[in-house]
Amino acid sequence: MRRLLLGLLLGLALYPVQSLAAGDGKTTAVKPESKDHPLKELWSGTHYSSPEVRKLQDSDSDNPAMKLFGKGETLWKKAEGRAKKSCSSCHGDTATSMKGAATRFPAFFKLSKKPVNIETRINLCRTKFMQARALPADSEPLMALSIYVKRQSKGMAISVAGDGPLQPFLEKGKDYFTTRRGQLDMSCAACHDKYAGQRYRAVKMSQGHANGFPAYSLSAKKTGSLLRQVNQCLARVRALPLKQGSDQLTNLELYLAWRAGGLGVETPAVRE
């Protein structure tokens, strides 16, 4: 009973105070490719931001997260480890080698027989080919490299397959997204599928797409990973956090990527 009451209280907090009308001329909706998609049309989180935040995101000189882009470029070219190699030693110019990479991840990794996200793939390259240490989970260097790689796909449509070897992992990610949890007995879908465009406290609820992460948070005044955002949501419903590199997080990210199929890559985005 207590869980139900807490859930109802959160539901009241999400009750429509002011909804953002779709088609406001600032962004464009995308029609889901799958008939099984839970949403009728897809809107990036940018759609729910103010004009000032959109302008900040679109300016390379003003976007606060672009500082990490510069750091990522430096790390990309830096030789490390016993092999004395850098990322560029194998992959060369990112504008060519990494173009479109962010649209395909998480991707199935044959050696581990499961999907990996870009951050895990970066660390696999570091440990296997550079013979360097893996970068700490959710650390600034790892976010910097992630931003630098993902930025090469800016504007390109996300296209992650939900069939083949990825299908069972996609289903697990969907199950996590739709399962109620925590003391408030809420699921991710309860907010992002039903209340997008409505206010949660001072900000508008988005559809929960991950096409802009890592992203700069104006409220937190720092750049954060998808893990940080997911765990922030979990804390709000009083649920246990996820860990970087965990199967649960990767499966969830896979489902989010499939769910955002057709939306353009915006990394690094700016969010309120």
- Which residues belong to the active site? 233
How would DSSP label each residue in 202-231?
A: TEE------TT-SEEETTTTEEE-HHHHHH
Burial of 189 (0-12, 13-18, 19+ CB in 10 A): middle
Burial of 35 (0-12, 13-18, 19+ CB in 10 A): exposed
**How is residue 24 annotated by DSSP?**
-
Q: Cα separation of 167 and 170, whole Å? A: 5
Q: Cα separation of 53 and 202, whole Å? A: 14
Sign of CA dihedral 66, 134, 80, 113: negative
Residues 223, 215 contacting (CB under 8 angstroms)? yes
Q: Cα separation of 218 and 272, whole Å? A: 5
Residue with tokens 């013979």: 131
Alpha-carbon Rg of the chain, whole angstroms?
19
